[in-house]
């Protein structure tokens, strides 16, 4: 029998985590406190799944049953009461995540694994809100979940081997590739390597070694990245890139993380990338 999955938070991540699992045959309960958000999640998932039908990648019958396998509820108890596995994807707010985990501890069966999709909070910060921290783990998916194959599974100091194995198995069951991170560390693996490479690109720019277009071209053609660091920054939002660096710089005091002067100037000028029509490039 496939594990029953509860997903808490139906925003950009939670909606697609639920749909990805359902596309692989799992029964999913998707919860959000907002009915409006649940409606938006259902409509957005329908759009994504039906595009696969249009492209001939999925039959209409398979699409409809994958959509039906995600049940929406604004009642948390209903969402997790019979779950074998819960993935939390609410706002990135520690107090909120701890209060959700305290509720999950009470409402989900004791056998259920409780996973958080947090990008920055190690599970040890959250698991203390539960009576069974050994069943808590980070499962870090990537946006957009329906496209991005990787899941970083990060164990906390109290996470049990059984929980780790079940998180790895759940990622595979959902058609995703898990990697295991044995120690809690800021940025996990991917964001750490991305930040290091991006920081180096900014250092080269600030030192006048090359222009941003040439740095992007070098990385795209020489390393085969689909987007160079400046194009990627425009795509994700330069405010997000800037704030991530500022956070790392403030929390570690390490000069390596100091945000680039040229990046700061872009953010001050409101040139945040695609979403404002201009960042490093014009759109």
Ligand X SMILES: NC(=O)c1ccc[n+]([C@@H]2O[C@H](COP(=O)([O-])OP(=O)(O)OC[C@H]3O[C@@H](n4cnc5c(N)ncnc54)[C@H](O)[C@@H]3O)[C@@H](O)[C@H]2O)c1
Report helix, strand or coil for 139. Answer: strand
136 neighbors 114 (Cβ within 8 angstroms):
yes
| 32 near ligand X (CB under 6 A) | yes
Q: Return the range that interacts with ligand X (CB under 6 A); candidates 30-38, 104-112, 154-162, 199-207.
A: 30-38
User: In the complex, what is the shortest distance from the CB of residue 100 to ligand X, in angstroms, rounded to a whole number?
Assistant: 6
How far, CA to CA in Å, does 107 sit from each of 77, 80, 102, 168?
A: 6, 7, 9, 23
Nearest to ligand X of 118, 199 (CB atom): 118
Q: Which helix or strand (DSSP H or E) is residue 54 part of? A: helix 35-54
Q: Out of 3, 33, 217, 235, which residue is the one contacting ligand X (CB under 6 A)?
A: 33
Q: Out of 11, 81, 128, 187, which residue is the one contacting ligand X (CB under 6 A)?
A: 11
| 268 near ligand X (CB under 6 A) | no
Q: Of the listed 45, 116, 119, 138, which one is catalytic?
A: 119
DSSP class of residue 186 equals T
Give the contact letters, 76-115, x = binds to ligand X (CB under 6 A), - = no.
Answer: -------------xxxx---x---x---------------
Q: Tell me whether residue 119 is one of the annotated catalytic residues.
A: yes
| 180 near ligand X (CB under 6 A) | no
Q: Of the listed 48, 152, 195, 260, which one is catalytic?
A: 152
| 44 near ligand X (CB under 6 A) | no
Applying CB under 6 A, the site for ligand X has a residue count of 24
Nearest to ligand X of 12, 71 (CB atom): 12
For residue 159 the two structure tokens come to: 């996470």
| 261 vs 2: CA distance, rounded Å | 51
For residue 36 the two structure tokens come to: 């409006």
CA-nearest of 181, 187, 184, 175 to 119 is 187
Q: Return the range that interacts with ligand X (CB under 6 A); candidates 3-11, 54-62, 178-186, 195-203.
A: 3-11
Q: Return the range that interacts with ligand X (CB under 6 A); candidates 12-20, 129-137, 169-177, 271-279.
A: 12-20
| 117 vs 26: CA distance, rounded Å | 18
Residue ranges with strand state E in the chain: 5-8, 28-31, 70-73, 85-88, 113-116, 136-141, 150-154, 177-181
Phi, psi of 151 (to 5 degrees): -130, 125
State how far Cα 185 lies from the chain centre: 16
User: In the complex, what is the shortest distance from the CB of residue 105 to ligand X, in angstroms, rounded to a whole number?
Assistant: 15
Name, in order, each residue with C-beta under 8 angstroms of 10's C-beta and a sequence gap of 6 or more: 18, 30, 31, 32, 34, 37, 38, 40, 41, 72
Give the contact letters, 110-149, x = binds to ligand X (CB under 6 A), - = no.
Answer: -------xxx--------------------xxxx------
Q: Return the range that interacts with ligand X (CB under 6 A); candidates 32-40, 43-51, 214-222, 264-272.
A: 32-40
Q: Tell me whether residue 45 is one of the annotated catalytic residues.
A: no
State the residues that interact with ligand X by CB under 6 A.
8-14, 32-34, 37, 89-92, 96, 100, 117-119, 140-143
Catalytic residues: 119, 140, 152, 191
């Amino acid at each position: 029998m496939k594990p029953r999955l509860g997903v808490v938070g139906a925003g950009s991540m939670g909606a697609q985590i639920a749909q990805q699992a359902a596309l692989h045959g799992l029964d999913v309960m998707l919860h959000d406190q907002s009915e409006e958000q649940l409606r938006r999640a259902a409509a957005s998932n329908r759009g994504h799944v039906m595009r696969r039908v249009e492209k001939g990648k999925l039959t209409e019958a398979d699409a409809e049953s994958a959509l039906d396998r995600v049940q929406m509820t604004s009642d948390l108890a209903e969402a997790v009461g019979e779950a074998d596995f819960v993935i939390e994807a609410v706002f990135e707010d520690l107090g909120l995540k701890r209060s959700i985990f305290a509720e999950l501890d009470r409402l989900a069966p004791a056998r259920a694994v409780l996973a958080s999709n947090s990008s920055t909070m190690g599970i040890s910060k959250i698991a203390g809100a539960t009576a069974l921290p050994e069943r808590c783990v980070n499962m870090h998916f990537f946006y957009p979940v329906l496209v991005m194959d990787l899941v970083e599974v990060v164990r906390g100091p109290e996470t049990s081997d059984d929980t780790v194995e079940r998180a790895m198995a759940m990622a595979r069951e959902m058609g995703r590739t898990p990697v295991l991170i044995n120690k809690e560390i800021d940025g996990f693996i991917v964001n750490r390597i991305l930040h290091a490479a991006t920081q180096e690109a900014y250092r080269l720019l600030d030192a006048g070694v090359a222009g941003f277009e040439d740095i992007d071209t070098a990385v795209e053609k020489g390393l085969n990245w689909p987007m160079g660091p400046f194009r990627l920054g425009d795509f994700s939002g330069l405010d997000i890139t800037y704030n991530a660096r500022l956070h790392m710089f403030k929390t570690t005091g390490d000069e390596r993380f100091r945000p680039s002067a040229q990046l700061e100037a872009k953010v001050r000028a409101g040139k945040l990338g695609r979403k404002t029509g201009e960042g490093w490039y014009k759109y």
